[in-house]
């Protein structure tokens, strides 16, 4: 399925549906999309459109993609939700292993379940026992990641890094607070950050994005700035930062953080932009 996610070529949804577990889930875009798809394309009828649902007909889609692609796995759910059966997870991972011409990005808010499955998978396939092979050799094209929205979820990073993987990555989206990844940057392979989109989007302070970007640059970790989300920083129009001048030019800007950081709401169906500190950040790991 084609996608609006800037850093991938394809989305693959053999599983859809989820339940909300943290602050970033409040305005879940996947839940909104599922409402529009209710009763169609394999989604259950309302009000169960976002129940965890298996789509066996989608399982073999990657076999038909002949050109190598970067694939986001389960953009419409969480692959490691407690209602996803281990047997179906096994089939999904076997397919990713078979289709090793593609890179598969797996993202979860449930790293405990991810760790349990990967431990089982390693044992079931005797990875490392038969020929000394490692998970990086068996699944070099599968990158495991977690979502972080606020500093309170940093435990997810700690648990992610305990799971064997070819690459570990983090999606800080929606970014809803200051974030300090410095204790783990020497182990992370990639960091993506973006603001919240859609109705009722919460603004992202420019300093939150800037700090993570600066930390990644200092540590040599590839950084990808996805977008500003539903709010964009107002332009400072005078050298001395005259607030009145800003208000005169942008009468719909708001001091949403109470610290004279004026933000502009982005009109519906318009993109907020991907420029941070004068440039776009499109870095990705090799491989």
Of 42 and 238, which is predicted with more confidence?
42
Copy the structure tokens of residue 127: 């990875």
Is the pLDDT reported for residue 285 higher than 90? yes
Is the pLDDT reported for residue 85 higher than 50? yes
pLDDT at 268: 75
What is the bridge-based pairing of β-strands 53-54 and 190-193? unpaired
pLDDT band at 281 (very low <50, low <70, confident <90, very high): very high
CATH fit for domain 10-230+273-280, picks 3.20.20, 1.10.10, 2.40.160, 3.10.20 = 3.20.20
Which residues have a Cβ under 8 Å from the Cβ of 125 and sit 6 or more positions away? 138
pLDDT tens digits, 166-222: 999 999 999 999 999 999 999 999 999 999 998 899 999 999 999 999 999 999 999
Mean pLDDT of the chain: 89
What is the bridge-based pairing of β-strands 53-54 and 15-16? antiparallel
Which residues have a Cβ under 8 Å from the Cβ of 267 and sit 6 or more positions away? none
pLDDT at 77: 96
Chain-centre distance for alpha carbon 44: 25
pLDDT tens digits, 21-46: 999 999 998 888 888 888 898 888 99
**Mean pLDDT across the stretch 109-131?**
83
Q: What share of the chain has pLDDT > 90, as a percent? A: 66
Q: Which of 27-41, 85-99, 129-143 has the lowest mean pLDDT?
A: 129-143
pLDDT band at 134 (very low <50, low <70, confident <90, very high): confident
Question: Would you call 225 exposed, middle or buried from its count of C-beta atoms within 10 A (0-12, 13-18, 19+)?
Answer: buried
pLDDT at 16: 96
Nearest residue to 39 via CA among 26, 50, 25: 50
pLDDT at 2: 54
pLDDT at 132: 58
pLDDT at 38: 84
For Cα atoms 149, 154, 159, give the angle at the middle one, nearest 5 degrees.
125
Is the pLDDT reported for residue 83 higher than 60? yes
Asked if residues 18 and 50 have their Cβ atoms less than 8 Å apart, the reply is yes
**Mean pLDDT across the stretch 278-286?**
92
pLDDT at 3: 59
pLDDT at 235: 62
pLDDT at 251: 59
Q: What share of the chain has pLDDT > 70, as a percent? A: 89
What is the bridge-based pairing of β-strands 190-193 and 279-280? unpaired
pLDDT at 238: 40
Which residue has 């259950």 as its token pair?
Answer: 44
pLDDT at 241: 45
Percentage helix, strand, coil for the chain under 3-state DSSP, each rounded to 5: 30, 15, 55
The pTM score is 0.90
pLDDT tens digits, 242-259: 444 444 455 577 888 988
Nearest residue to 105 via CA among 82, 63, 139, 137: 139
Asked if residues 192 and 226 have their Cβ atoms less than 8 Å apart, the reply is yes
């Amino acid at each position: 399925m084609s996608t609006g996610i800037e850093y991938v070529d394809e989305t693959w949804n053999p599983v859809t549906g989820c339940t909300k577990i943290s602050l970033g889930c409040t305005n879940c875009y996947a839940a909104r999309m599922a409402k529009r798809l209710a009763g169609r394309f394999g989604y259950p009828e309302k009000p169960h459109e976002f129940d965890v649902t298996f789509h066996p007909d989608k399982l073999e889609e990657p076999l038909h993609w002949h050109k190598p692609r970067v694939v986001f796995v389960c953009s419409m759910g969480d692959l490691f939700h407690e209602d996803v059966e281990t047997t179906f997870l096994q089939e999904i991972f076997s397919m990713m292993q078979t289709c090793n011409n593609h890179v598969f990005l797996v993202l979860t808010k449930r790293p405990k379940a991810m760790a349990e499955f990967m431990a089982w998978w390693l044992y079931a396939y005797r990875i490392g026992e038969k020929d000394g092979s490692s998970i990086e050799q068996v699944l070099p094209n599968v990158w495991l990641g977690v979502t972080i929205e606020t500093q309170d979820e940093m435990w997810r990073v700690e648990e992610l890094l305990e799971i064997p993987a070819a690459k570990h990555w983090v999606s800080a989206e929606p970014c809803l607070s200051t974030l300090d990844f410095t204790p783990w940057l020497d182990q992370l392979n990639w960091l993506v950050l973006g603001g919240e989109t859609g109705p009722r989007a919460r603004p992202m302070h420019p300093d939150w994005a800037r700090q993570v970007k600066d930390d990644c640059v200092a540590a040599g970790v590839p950084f990808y700035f996805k977008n500003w989300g539903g709010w964009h920083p107002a332009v400072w129009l005078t050298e001395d930062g005259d607030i009145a001048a800003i208000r005169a030019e942008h009468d719909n800007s708001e001091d949403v953080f109470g610290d004279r950081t004026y933000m502009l709401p982005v009109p519906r169906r318009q993109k907020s932009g991907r420029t941070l500190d004068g440039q776009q950040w499109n870095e990705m790991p090799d491989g």
